[in-house]
Amino acid sequence: MNSGHTSARGAASMTTIEQAIARIPGWAGATVSVTPLSGGITNLNYRVDVNGESFVVGLSSDDTEVLGIDQRLTHQSTLAAAETGVGPEVAHFFPDDGILVTRFIFGRRLSTGEVAQPEMLHRVVRSMHRYHDGPALASHFSPFRTLHAYLRGTQAHGATLPEDIAEMYDRLTAVEAAVRGGEIVRPCHNDLWESNLLDDGTLIRIIDWEYAGMGDVHFDLANLAAHNRFSEAQDEALLHAYFGTVSRAAVARIERLKIAAELREAMWAVAAQDLDATAASGFDCPGYARTHFDRCRQLLRNLRL
């Protein structure tokens, strides 16, 4: 998803929160309160209270391009999501400095267990429908293209990969063939882990649109299911909530795409482990990769092609 733009910051540099505040009109010299926010892995996020308003300042580094993140496309996707009421409102964007400022959403993060609860599941699905039916995005997303890009990048950098990585990718080829055709292409978020889901009391809001793009809604659903460890029965409940009906073909499609979702999480962690932003966050990339490689293996053992 690299647009070809280059940054004035130079490789792997990151603007500080003090520099960001000085950059934003009306903030320099004002009384501000800055609070670091948890949950950011490939960027640093701060709540900034200034002039009676609350914002989130997201700071990114150039090296996240290896993960397929393009800040200009992130900005465009966030603007589109904001139009639907699901994403946060964009206040400022400075691409050359890696600064994206959005309105702070007052709400609580969802927990893994509650997403599968019937009432909450329907609320999450309603928000998914809103952005799936929203403005088209400039970027495109395929988990399979992403996975092959991650493999090329990690091999080129000599990253440590599991001994059975070739076998997993061979099986992935069969998975990709099995789901080819039948895509429903819509604007998709593609990173629906619980930290990105916020309940504002009325609507489930969704943040962090770095991986958004036009893609198959089935993968968006599978991604949500994988992150929240859905069982087959819960996959069926998700499909029924989204489509109003459940077919064996749809269940099988989600089952297969969950394999791609788990392998993508694992390979993302391998690709991310040496980045400045992940190092600054303290995120355990090796542990995360092991967890999701194991989950991928388990799904492959149960796979019915």
> Token digits for 137?
């995005």
Confidence of residue 141 (pLDDT cuts 50, 70, 90): very high
Does residue 117 share a domain with residue 92?
no
Split into its structural domains, the chain has a count of: 2
- Pairwise CA distance, residues 73 & 138, whole Å: 7
End-to-end CA distance of the chain: 30
Task: Please compute the mean of the pLDDT values over residues 258-285 and round it to a whole number.
Answer: 88
Domain with 206 in it: what CATH number?
3.90.1200.10
- At residue 155, does pLDDT exceed 90? yes
Provide the pLDDT for residue 277.
Answer: 67
Quick one: average pLDDT of 262-272? 97
- Which residues are registered as beta bridge partners of 102? 56, 90
- Whether 40 and 187 map to the same domain: the answer is no
pLDDT in tens, 241-253: 999 999 999 999 9
Note whether 213 and 251 are same-domain residues: yes
Assigned domain for 67 exists: yes
Range of the domain at 146: 108-301
The tens digit of pLDDT for each residue in 192-207 reads 999 999 999 999 999 9
Shared domain check, 115 and 91: no
Domain termination site, one of 103, 131, 146: 103
Please report whether residue 4 resides in a domain: no
Q: Is residue 35 part of a domain?
A: yes
Q: 73 with 212, same domain?
A: no
Question: What is the rounded distance in angstroms from the CA atom of residue 162 to the CA atom of residue 157?
Answer: 15
Q: List, for residues 24-37, the tens digit of each pLDDT value.
A: 999 988 999 999 99
Specify the residue for token string 């299911």: 225
Residues 172 and 195 grouped into a single domain: yes
pLDDT at 283: 83
Closest by alpha carbon to 138, among 79, 52, 61, 197?
A: 79
pLDDT of res. 282? 78
Q: How far apart are CA 69 and CA 52, in angstroms?
A: 32
Residue 45 lies in a domain: yes
Burial class (CB in 10 A: 0-12, 13-18, 19+), 44: buried
Query: Does the residue 190 lie in any domain?
Result: yes
For residues 63 and 125, membership in a common domain is answered with no
CATH of the domain at 28: 3.30.200.20
* pLDDT tens digits, 115-139: 999 999 999 999 999 999 999 999 9
My answer on whether 224 and 250 are in the same domain is: yes
Residues 122 and 94 in one domain: no
294 inside domain: yes
pLDDT, tens digit, 9 for 90 and up, residues 282-305: 789 999 999 999 999 999 999 876
pLDDT over 50 at 5, yes or no: no
The residue out of 78, 103, 128 marking a domain boundary is 103
pLDDT at site 13: 64
Lowest mean pLDDT among 62-76, 81-95, 106-120: 62-76
Res 275: pLDDT? 80
**98 with 238, same domain?**
no
Domain stop point among 76, 103, 130: 103
Mark whether 120 and 189 lie in a shared domain: yes
Total length of the chain: 305
Regarding whether 135 and 269 lie in a shared domain, the answer is yes
User: Is residue 2 one of the residues assigned to a domain?
Assistant: no
Mean pLDDT of 99-106: 98
